[in-house]
Amino acid sequence: MDGGFFWDHAEAMTAALIVLALFLLLAVAGPRFGTDSRRPRGWAERDPDTALWSDPGVAHLR
């Protein structure tokens, strides 16, 4: 491999490293500083076996 390969692609590699560092920062900081919106009884407060909406014109099929 030619030694100039990395020199020719320095801008692209720098941009890729910056994007990788940003994703790594988000992966570490997100769970640490983010709000935990999970509920202890599932995704909604109502019974999970009920319909998701109460529109009388829509047939609620499972």
Give the tens place of pLDDT for each residue, 27-44: 998 878 876 666 555 555
CB 22 within 8 A of CB 15: no
CB 60 within 8 A of CB 51: yes
| Sole residue written with tokens 């720098």 | 14
Per-residue pLDDT at 34: 75
Best-predicted range by mean pLDDT among 11-15, 34-38, 44-48, 54-58? 11-15
Per-residue pLDDT at 20: 97
> Rounded to 5 degrees, what angle do the CA atoms 19, 10, 24 make?
20
CA–CA gap between residue 19 and residue 13 (Å, rounded)? 10
